[in-house]
Amino acid sequence: MATSGEMLVNLSAAEARQRLDAREISSAELTEAHLARIEALDGKLGCYLHVMTDVARAQADVADRRIAAGEQSAMTGIPIALKDVLCTADAPTTAGSRMLEGFRSPYDATVVARLRAQGAVFLGKANTDEFAMGSSNENSAYRRVRNPWHPGRVPGGSSGGPAAAVAASLATLGLGSDTGGSIRQPASFCGVVGIKPTYGRVSRYGLIAFASSLDQIGPFARSVEDAAMLLSAIAGPDPNDSTSVPLGVPDYHAALGADLRGVRVGVAREYTVEGMEIGVTHAVKRAISRLAELGAELVDISLPHTEYALATYYIIAPAEASANLARFDGVRYGMVREADTLRGTYERTRGEGFGPEVKRRIMLGAYALSAGYYDAYYVKAQKVRTLIKQDFDAAWEKVDVIAAPTTPTVAFALGARTADPYQMYLTDIFTIPANMAGIPGASVPCGFSEGLPVGLQILGKAFDEATVLRVAHAYEQAELWRQLRPQVGAAAR
């Protein structure tokens, strides 16, 4: 039975799965509805850098044949937006940078290959801050992304493209990467669910690296159930990634639906800062109280080294970035600006290819790694990182998860922080510690302030995404926030 395009794009992944399997809709219909919505709205929102129209249609046709033959899996026929730091053999991969304009990878990232094998539909490569370096998606070399809830506000970053696409129903699901909060922060700003898995849970092979000891790929969705479905599809060990951990993948869906009786929820006194918006504070406090009403035990805890996480991150991450981006030299791939000497070629290529934020972080990282400063900065930062992890290890002896704000503010105005990098970096103050410790975290909508979404962050023990999802799902089901949608058509006009 035919269904209007507007209704199709608003289906959750779980609802779409049921209707696809029942043959009530086809993947071709679902895909065309999304492509039409992208055509109508993305010119204003800027979620996509490359729409994979022909690829998506071909994948949808294959998915429908698989479903007809009874050979489908959870992701078969489901439309997904891929952050443009994930390599794809059949579409450009630019990392939001002029340095890689027109670049085509000869292979798929592992997460892309796994979804392709399951019959997923790739709508396109979603916008990102350049090389995933940013907190607002204003650092994209091509165009900035606008928040679907308010076109004058940022969507968050660096995964602002897939977050906004899922929020605006320009994709059913999205994949992003999280180095210091780049999934959870835009999920909070855009009012969707975002999951950063444990470091090593999901293969990073084929992810254009920012900071290799911090990066992790994870899902965006409009519900916790959908996020669990996508995480199950991409998680697991990979021989191509030596940092992926050889552990089996739990049944994340089975963890959903359990109540919170017996769950100990930590509330850390350090997860509040000067300048935190009162509306965010109230929304998060109400959400944590709701967890208690659902049967959870609230436990006051302390994470004393949290205050050093931001400074530690901005030594370690730029240091790793400066090493990772050294490969972009105007010789092997990407932009080439030749000069009379090799040094001149490097200078011209990098001078034109990298944007201001990327250059800033390369310089910070190179300085921290330079002779005479390595021990004073980089080595000391790694020692503090260990202390941050030890804080969490001690907390897990008392609690099962930690509940906190995802961000100290709601989405801020476009351009409001571009001239002040420190204020921009402060946006990630609550998300960075999880990356320092390598633990999983989720952001789930928990209310509104100034008419804009607020996110509740749930942090868990390493490789215990199941409990994080259980708590997030229980809270989500007890509230109505997931049912609210931005008026994207009106905002985009």
Amino acid at 450: E
Rounded to whole angstroms, how far apart are CA atoms 152 and 411? 10
Give the pairing of strands 216-221 and 173-178.
Answer: antiparallel
Q: Are 108 and 91 spatial neighbours (Cβ–Cβ below 8 Å)?
A: no
Give 209: exposed, middle or buried? Use CB within 10 Å, 0-12, 13-18, 19+: buried
Q: Are 442 and 482 spatial neighbours (Cβ–Cβ below 8 Å)?
A: no
Q: Which of 108, 101, 234, 220 is nearest to 170 (CA)?
A: 220
**Nearest 5°: phi and psi at 196?**
-100, 110
**Nearest 5°: phi and psi at 325?**
-85, -5
Count CB neighbours of 298 within 10 A.
15
Active site amino acids = 83, 158, 182
Rounded to whole angstroms, how far apart are CA atoms 190 and 411? 8
Rounded to whole angstroms, how far apart are CA atoms 83 and 127? 6
Alpha helices, H only, 208-273: 224-234, 252-255
Distances in whole angstroms, Cα of residue 258 to Cα of each of 291, 296, 317, 466, 473: 13, 12, 37, 11, 9
Rounded to whole angstroms, how far apart are CA atoms 300 and 102? 51
Q: Are 478 and 162 spatial neighbours (Cβ–Cβ below 8 Å)?
A: no
Dmax (CA) of the chain: 70
Rounded to whole angstroms, how far apart are CA atoms 287 and 167? 21
439's tokens: 């633990």
Sheet strands side by side (includes 173-178)? 48-51, 121-126, 79-83, 173-178, 216-221, 193-196, 441-449, 452-460, 401-405, 264-268, 297-301
Rg (CA), the chain: 21
Rounded to whole angstroms, how far apart are CA atoms 20 and 64? 8
Q: Are 110 and 216 spatial neighbours (Cβ–Cβ below 8 Å)?
A: no
Count CB neighbours of 324 within 10 A.
18
